[in-house]
Amino acid sequence: PSSFVIPAVNNPAEYCRQNYTVGYGTDTNQDVQFAKGTTTLAFKFNDGIIVSVDSRSTMGPYIASQTVKKVIEINPYLLGTMAGGAADCAFWERNLGMQCRMYELRNKERISVAAASKLLANTMFQYRGHGLSMGTMVTGWDKTGPQLYYVDNDATRLKGDIFSVGSGSTYAYGVLDTYYRPDLTVDEAIDLGKRAIYHATHRDAYSGGINNVYHVKETGWVKVGSWDVNDLHYLYADEKIAARNP
């Protein structure tokens, strides 16, 4: 957008990189430290897409919040997830919402997920090198069916069936990849989404809080529910005990 203000210095990109970079433990000397550390995931299956995220925000070892909304509701049929800089994600995804609405008004039809994710990726490309930190998944159901795209701050844009983004993503992938099937039932898929996030929050210090789950259907997204990951811990622990003592 032409009205985005950049620092009035000789080399704005350099200035941003030195003073506003995201870095685990390395940004402690900066004036602005980014809240980061997260686990978000989304996967496509026969009945749509499940989006499951945690809600912890950390500044170094300090837990800034346990109740962050990491799923951004761009419009009733498009969702975006948040990983990386919370402000960057929230701002640019809301900006994407504005662009999507303009598209709708001009063209009298909804924007496709491919086009929406491309708009975001192109914006990221414009600000490449300026130190933005955003790892997001743009997902929705358009006339070509359910779609899932990964977009990040260096304008990488990937189409896929399964993605997990954030410091806890490796733990989530472990569970997700083991149990994923395209023909999961809706309940099985929701359970998988919950379990994957729980395991990530259990092992990753920077993930935790509440697990929010959304389901993207043909008629738009619905919020399935919120679960405190602590409660999930004891739930699954009981299951393990029950399994050991049939």
Partner 1 sequence: LGSAVVAVRGADSVVIGVERKTIAKLQDPRTIRKIVKLDATTTLAFAGLTADARVLIEKVRLECQSYRLTCEDAPSLEHIARFIATTQQRYTQRGGVRPFGVSSILAGFGSDGNPQIYQIDPSGTYFAWKANAIGGKNSKGMREFLEKEWTEDLSEPGSLKLVVKTLLEVVDSGSKNMEVAVVRKGSAMELLGEDALNAVTEQVLAEAEAEKNAASGGAEEMKD
What residues are annotated to the active site?
38
Measured from the CB of residue 107, what is the shortest distance to partner 1 in angstroms?
6
126 forms part of the interface with partner 1 (CB under 8 A): no
Nearer to partner 1, 120 or 172 (CB): 120
- DSSP output for 81-97: E--B-HHHHHHHHHHHH
**Per-residue b/e over 98-117, b at no fewer than 16 CB within 10 Å?**
ebbeebeeeeeebbbbbebb
95 forms part of the interface with partner 1 (CB under 8 A): no
118 forms part of the interface with partner 1 (CB under 8 A): yes
Interface pick for partner 1 out of 107, 241, 242, 245 (rule CB under 8 A): 107
Nearer to partner 1, 111 or 124 (CB): 111
Among 145, 199, 143, smallest CA distance to 173 is for 199
d(CA 141, CA 207): 28
202 forms part of the interface with partner 1 (CB under 8 A): no
Measured from the CB of residue 142, what is the shortest distance to partner 1 in angstroms?
10
119 forms part of the interface with partner 1 (CB under 8 A): yes
Q: Is 4 exposed, middle or buried (0-12, 13-18, 19+ CB in 10 A)?
A: exposed
Sheet holding 48-53, edge to edge: 162-165, 40-45, 48-53, 210-217, 220-228
- DSSP output for 25-44: TTSTTSSS---B---EEEEE
Ramachandran bin of 83, using left for φ above 0, alpha for ψ from -120 to 50, beta for the remaining angles: beta
Measured from the CB of residue 118, what is the shortest distance to partner 1 in angstroms?
6
Interface pick for partner 1 out of 114, 155, 162, 186 (rule CB under 8 A): 114
Nearer to partner 1, 13 or 114 (CB): 114
State which H helix or E strand residue 198 sits in: helix 186-203
Measured from the CB of residue 108, what is the shortest distance to partner 1 in angstroms?
8
Contact 44, 183 (CB under 8 A): no
Measured from the CB of residue 189, what is the shortest distance to partner 1 in angstroms?
27
Quick one: which segment of 51-59, 74-82, 117-125, 180-188 binds partner 1 (CB under 8 A)? 117-125
Quick one: which segment of 13-21, 108-116, 172-180, 230-238 binds partner 1 (CB under 8 A)? 108-116
Name the residues that contact partner 1, by CB under 8 A. Answer: 106-107, 111-112, 114-115, 118-119, 122
